[in-house]
A = this chain, B = another copy of it.
Amino acid sequence: MKNSFGSSIIITLFGESHGDYIGAVLDGIAPGIKIDREYIGRKLALRRPAGKISTARVEADEYEIISGVKGDYTSGTPLCILIKNTNKKSADYGDILDIPRPGHADYTAREKYHGFEDHRGGGHFSGRITAALVAVGAILSCALENKGIKIGSHITELHGAFDRRFDDISSDIDLVNSREFPVLTDVAEEKMKKEIAKAAEMGDSVGGILESAIIGLPAGLGEPWFDSMESMLSHGLFSIPGVKGVEFGLGFAFADVYGSEGNDAFAIRDGKVATESNNNGGINGGITNGMPVVFRTVIKPTPSIFKSQNSISLTKMENTELKLEGRHDPAIIHRARAVVDAVTAIVIADMLAMRYGTDYLAANN
């Protein structure tokens, strides 16, 4: 597969940054899922650039659902969402067809598509496409919430500034989902915004780490080989532009602990099976154990910077310098949280539909 993802619930993305529309088709969704436009709008707003710390290109993200919905409910047939690109300045991208931007996909797209690719604004590789991903993810995460499954992400680290880790996960998810800037504390927000502003002043950019959690998942979800919960989530997450690492539970810190420290002891809690710690991030052997699923995703600094960079001319095959102009984010991680949550919702919804059937997500099932 290519620009499609999923087995029972399948998303297909299309569109280019400077085309007329971007969009997505969501197939396999249960009939009878409420389309909550306020909820979708809220999620899209979290992804939309805002204020000083984001790009000056602001899109209204007005979406149209042109199929798969009757009244306010999904009909069960493929749902197509279109989002119009209204604010394009293609003139800014004249050079990159010849001089690839470091850290971007310009050169690799050229190798893959032989020059036929729409290079303007990154074309199909643009973060712009994630608006469609967020819209689709919102439909699914809204349905998941009706099943008691909640998803949330916050920035734990951004160029030396830190947020506290998740603690009481259920209320922390509610907290972060109510905040425009995705952290759990005001002090973290202040410090991180300062770091972003500082990078912006220098014409530079920063990345960071998102910690995400899913609560309410039943135990027993995932497959032993190949379609493990970690495999499915990472497959989705690594297709988000800028993601360069994914870890579950202790993640890379497992390298420094003993087995006796890393294992999560079982205990009966309120008559149910639980674990005393959650170092494995809610997953054993690729399968959920009923504890919160916790993972961390690193987003690299936005590759678009205003500092002069070494690059090459592909037509002349010689070294040259590149100085970008236009509108660029000094950081995207605070916006990426909405994308990470959307991809998480898509993966989880698909795995639940595979296990419990295609009608599972409908409200009265």
Contacts and interface: CB of A to CB of B under 8 A. Distances in A.
Contacts of A21: 66-67, 80
A246 B245 contact: yes
Nearest to A242: B254
A285 B357 contact: no
Interface residues of A, number: 153
Contacts of A246: 234, 245-247
A51 interface: no
A182 interface: no
Nearest to A247: B245
Interface in A59-92: 66-68, 70, 73-80, 82
Contacts of A307: 260
A74 B354 CA distance: 19
B305 A263 contact: yes
B254 A250 contact: no
A32 interface: yes
Most buried by B among A221, A239, A289, A303: A239
Given A31-B116, A317-B271, A244 B220 contact: no
Contacts of A260: 204-205, 305, 307, 309
Contact of A285 (B2, B109, B251, B358): B109
A105 to B, nearest CB: 2
Interface string A246-274: 11111110111111111111111001010
B224 A5 contact: no
A336 to B, nearest CB: 12
A272 to B, nearest CB: 9
B3 A268 contact: no
A78 B2 CA distance: 9
A24 to B, nearest CB: 9
Given A104-B284, A231-B239, 15 more contacts: A2-B223, A3-B224, A14-B79, A16-B75, A21-B66, A77-B224, A107-B284, A108-B222, A159-B257, A231-B235, A244-B251, A244-B252, A268-B319, A273-B317, A355-B358
